[in-house]
Structure 1
Amino acid sequence: MLRGNKVGLRARHQEDIPILRAELYDDVVNAARADGQPWRPITPGAPDPRLVVDDTAPGLVPFSVVELAGGTLIGTATLWGIDPHNRSAHVGLGLRPAARGQGYGTDVVAALCHYGFTVRGLRRLQIETLADNAAMLGAAERNGFVREGVLRSAAWVLGEFLDMVLLGLLAEEWPPATPDGSG
């Protein structure tokens, strides 16, 4: 397990899937804002391609996020679009509603940066998020990500086009967090 200050990133367990599906993906508004694809229902009992792990997919590393204090499942974290030639990848996360607003997102991004830069040897990490997603923008910027641009009207979300913010972080710009969180 990868450990941050408050969270751990571990392999996805089968028992995680129904919880994450119910709290993250069956919520139409949350799922539509988080996924680049239109929301659609998944038949109960059918495998959910957003949550079932395919260990043979080289460009995708999904994690379940747990609270270190008690081991409670609090969300998902993903390094996706891993490009070994250009040594880059994208960062994504989703927190269960009860875990939002507690600083977990910042710690998840830090743990994904550690994984991407230290474990995988990547050179660049990138985040794309809706322009009104203050929580993700804050978590990214607290970890050193820099706003590189705005993709105007780039995301169709529940009947309207929304702007996306593109953030990037290079390995040499990333200071690993110290135990006291000072960076």
Structure 2
Amino acid sequence: MFVHKVDEDVSLKLIEVKDADKVFEMTDQSRTYLREWLPWLDFTKTVEDTKSFIEGSLKNYAENKSITTAILYKGKIVGTAGFNSLNWANKTGYIGYWLGESYQGNGIMTKVAQALTEYAFMELNMNKVEIRAAVENKKSRSIPERLGFVNEGTIRQAEWLYDHFVDHVVYGMLKEEWNRK
């Protein structure tokens, strides 16, 4: 099983069906907060919905299409992160993440995104990592910016959020740029 220790307090582990209760609990506790930027909250109403998501994630992991991990902070599940998609033909990994509201501001997600980027280049032999975030989602955008990702532009009306479209900023990091850091 995939487990990656980030530091003394933070680690990532491949999400498992047995994590469904804890992942759903964290989702439910942060529902209003997360709903502002994530389109799937209204479709995640029960633990069974979370189990279905995890089962799909594990299927995609087995097929080498994505990697979804639970973020552990001091041993507790506080969110998820991983590669929403792995494009092997173009050697690009697309990082996605969310963190429970009460765990914001501790540097957890920056450490996680840094560890995933390193993993993409060193273990998966990817050439590029992308992170996309809604233009107005300043907290999410600050993560790739802090890590030195390049703002590659904006995709107009990239995502439907319940009743409106949002534009996305695309951030990219090339392996050669990462290695120079």
1:140 alignment partner, SS class: helix
Distance 1:78 1:134, change over 3 A: same
Consecutive unaligned residues in structure 2, runs of 5 or more: none
Q: What is the deviation of 1:38?
A: 7.7
- Identify the structure with the greater helix proportion: 2
Consecutive unaligned residues in structure 1, runs of 5 or more: 177-182
Find 1:130's aligned residue among 131, 134, 137: 134
1:51, 1:20 → 2: CA distance? 10
Distance 1:136 1:117, change over 3 A: same
Q: Which residue of 1 aligns with 2:111?
A: 107
Q: Which residue of 1 aligns with 2:72?
A: 66
The RMSD of aligned alpha carbons is 2.4
Cα distance per residue 1:104-129 (max 9 Å; x no partner): 11001011111111110000011111
So what's the TM-score if we normalise by structure 2? 0.83
Q: Which residue of 1 aligns with 2:54?
A: 51
User: In percent, how many aligned pairs have the same letter?
Assistant: 22
Find 1:11's aligned residue among 5, 9, 14: 14
Residues matched between the structures, number = 174
Q: Which residue of 1 aligns with 2:4?
A: 2
Q: Which residue of 1 aligns with 2:174?
A: 170
Q: Which amino acid aligns with 1:64?
A: A
Contact kept, 8 Å, 2:14 with 2:67, in 1: the verdict is no
Contact kept, 8 Å, 1:28 with 1:39, in 2: the verdict is no
Q: Which amino acid aligns with 1:11?
A: L
Find 1:82's aligned residue among 44, 64, 86: 86
